[in-house]
Structure 1
């Protein structure tokens, strides 16, 4: 069975009748049962197999026709508990689907189950909780898959799902994608509806827009595009269609959060390969962007996000919003002369499991896109232990970042199954 194929490829084969959705789903469940990664933690088998049989009998279908996939535990999926890794929510079975799940299924996908998260999604370094335990990195079980979409990234890397959907406030899609060697997209905030992405309880409407988003993880950049268009609607076309036509800003290191030698070598080699392929490289950050101040301001936004869940607003919020608006304007000016900005997703490869460590330093690089609300793709950049190249695009031009990541795979390399 093609467990490491892309969702786009599998859907095409099921539509043609050269691959059975039912057989694929049955084999996928067997693979999940045999896995020791602990990535997929809840399944709805009868529903999935019945839906797969219907997909095989159908004439044609949507862009994700018959594709078995998973979503992060934090999304409501009818018939499954929405636990957020909290024992008090262990029996909180959803009676309806999140908007993301509704739209994926309308496109033909079969949401077969849910993937693991850290307790209350409060850790972007590891994925462990009191209900389901620890998820490990499929490439090295002694290392973390990251968080909070760690189960999502691990499931894709281990061949336990064909597509995933996660969430990203403080790098919770991009960091796990980098550690597990898959693709992850934080879309422009507001692109994909958030209804059904919350802990169990009455729906809560945020008082303001925070720089958080829900988005897809996949084994190819093309799958990111497909998943985003299905869940978020039509995309603004990419600025470029050929790699050699792209203008890319690049910063690969910073004294305030230096990358390891391993990551530095991988990303330097990747940028050299892109330059040889014709990408016009421009060193340096936008004028007026201080990465340290940006990381500190983003830390305030994260604290504000959690305070808002309790109905509080921290002091200094108005000033922080003015700073965020000024930063957005600086990036908008920058993208007049550049199409994408390239930087590390995180400064290290997947570290060893360590429950004593908060991993706060991992946020420095993802904050470059998160605070101004820019779309960003973490793309595999090679190496025996994967390193992520973060491709940041202009606001509301998500497909420009996706297309660059897609084309870059030809010279940098894309997803590689564990052990290959």
Structure 2
């Protein structure tokens, strides 16, 4: 399966037309009866946009990525929670089944400005409320393309499954409790939770809720899913930066050769003991890293208690929902300030660690994709899935899932790469180099 970047290059150089690519993609979506990843499409719009993209190439605009957008003519989907003018935004909730957006989310505007063709929407878990599975009463359940009896993860399960099943070339999702990284790991694709606040969230709201920028703690982040690390970089470059048109540029990576990286590594923890399948794949990835000449630093950052930080993240998620319309918190002002102080202390400790280490490598999840309906996984609690993604979510550091292999039964295994604050491309470049 080709990446978004490869398709864009073929369209620019005339090897294929956007019309051909888009029509074939729409046909694959229409023919899918098993995965159920893409739940709404706009075929006529997509084909008209593809014809316009081809006309631009034919007119001589295809001289390079600088002449036309880096995603010129590439068909893609976005998670159902993003507003796309003329399409439904349901959040998987029957109460919003008839809601149709009247304007595009900021990320949708920017993707289209870069040349992408938004052909439709991918499935979500009801109100994005599950990190381990994707199902709702409107569109049903999304299945893992590697094994239909297993989960695609949540709540961006449709996004990850769509990429893995060749039903889209690029995706955009959201991540509060691993909702980009966990599905990406279970489906064998790349998924980036950018530095918190890096990508504007206008148009990523529950229907009927106004967009109100807030300085209050906001753990929720939106970011791309893709079939390559390079596609993550492209998508981030065209969508990140302040909502207003201020100048912004992606910070260059610290290194461009794998041998130059200093890599922190942890492969297991009692709170979420990794399965042998995940452990074996992690060991192979670390062996590749060692052979490259990179410096490997074992263990958690100094003064970081991984278990305590994971528990703190759980408390912060509860506070997040209280601040965004959920059950009110009974915390006093002093207690609220104390929670924010703990979050900032955790961020400072990790950022100090990144003065001496470039990236941190660990599992994305302790397990591979598990059977639908599981309440315990590998004799561990369902919520153990949250442990490995909790630390970057708490501190706001960029983190991505990197596919690192498959089990004997061809289930994907993912590793998580955490990078320094606002140095997303350091994590992306490391993942790109390690993948080879």
TM-score range, shorter chain: over 0.9
Aligned counterparts of 1:182 and 1:372: Cα–Cα separation in 2? 24
2:74 aligns with 67
Aligned counterparts of 2:308 and 2:215: Cα–Cα separation in 1? 25
2:373 aligns with 354
Going from structure 1 to structure 2, the CA distance change for 1:39 and 1:179 (only over 3 Å counts) comes to same
Structure 1: gaps spanning 5 or more residues: 411-420
Deviation at 1:23, TM superposition (A): 1.3
Q: Is 1:283 aligned to residue 309 of structure 2?
A: no
Q: Is 1:56 aligned to residue 54 of structure 2?
A: yes
- CA shift digits 1:149-195 (9 cap, x unpaired): 00000000000000000000110000000000000000001110000
Deviation at 1:204, TM superposition (A): 3.9
Deviation at 1:356, TM superposition (A): 4.9
Q: Is 1:118 aligned to residue 125 of structure 2?
A: yes
1:415 aligns with none
- CA shift digits 1:318-375 (9 cap, x unpaired): 2111111111111111111100000100000000001656832110000121101100
1:155-194 paired onto structure 2 within 5 Å: 155-194=162-201
Deviation at 1:317, TM superposition (A): 2.2
Deviation at 1:256, TM superposition (A): 1.8
Deviation at 1:314, TM superposition (A): 4.5
1:39 aligns with 37
Deviation at 1:207, TM superposition (A): 5.5
- CA shift digits 1:252-300 (9 cap, x unpaired): 0011211011111111111111111111100011111111111111001
Aligned counterparts of 1:284 and 1:201: Cα–Cα separation in 2? 46
Give TM-score, length-normalised by structure 1.
Answer: 0.95
Q: Is the 8 A contact 2:144 2:152 kept in 1?
A: yes
Aligned counterparts of 1:173 and 1:130: Cα–Cα separation in 2? 21
Aligned with residue 395 of structure 2, among 364, 368, 372: 372
2:339 aligns with 320
Deviation at 1:116, TM superposition (A): 0.2
Q: Which moved more, 1:53-62 or 1:80-89?
A: 53-62
Q: Is 1:214 aligned to residue 212 of structure 2?
A: no
Aligned with residue 416 of structure 2, among 390, 403, 411: 390
Report SS of the residue matched to 1:202: coil
Aligned counterparts of 1:218 and 1:204: Cα–Cα separation in 2? 27
1:342 aligns with 361
Give TM-score, length-normalised by structure 2.
Answer: 0.92
1:75-90 paired onto structure 2 within 5 Å: 75-90=82-97
2:259 aligns with 244
Aligned counterparts of 2:162 and 2:27: Cα–Cα separation in 1? 14
Aligned with residue 235 of structure 2, among 227, 231, 235: 227
1:418 aligns with none
Aligned with residue 404 of structure 2, among 378, 381, 406: 381
Report SS of the residue matched to 2:115: coil
Q: Is the 8 A contact 2:194 2:397 kept in 1?
A: yes
Aligned counterparts of 1:331 and 1:309: Cα–Cα separation in 2? 27
Give the number of aligned pairs: 407
Aligned counterparts of 1:390 and 1:207: Cα–Cα separation in 2? 28
Q: Is the 8 A contact 1:307 1:314 kept in 2?
A: no
Report SS of the residue matched to 2:150: coil
RMSD between superposed Cα atoms in Å: 1.2
Q: Is the 8 A contact 1:124 1:359 kept in 2?
A: no
Report SS of the residue matched to 2:104: coil
Report SS of the residue matched to 1:160: coil
Q: Is 1:8 aligned to residue 8 of structure 2?
A: no
Going from structure 1 to structure 2, the CA distance change for 1:381 and 1:314 (only over 3 Å counts) comes to farther
Q: Which moved more, 1:191-200 or 1:318-327?
A: 318-327
Deviation at 1:377, TM superposition (A): 1.0
Deviation at 1:202, TM superposition (A): 3.4
Aligned counterparts of 1:326 and 1:118: Cα–Cα separation in 2? 33
Aligned counterparts of 1:19 and 1:209: Cα–Cα separation in 2? 46
Q: Which moved more, 1:29-38 or 1:357-366?
A: 357-366
Aligned counterparts of 1:361 and 1:154: Cα–Cα separation in 2? 22
1:331 aligns with 350
Aligned counterparts of 1:116 and 1:306: Cα–Cα separation in 2? 22
Report SS of the residue matched to 1:117: coil
Report SS of the residue matched to 2:395: coil
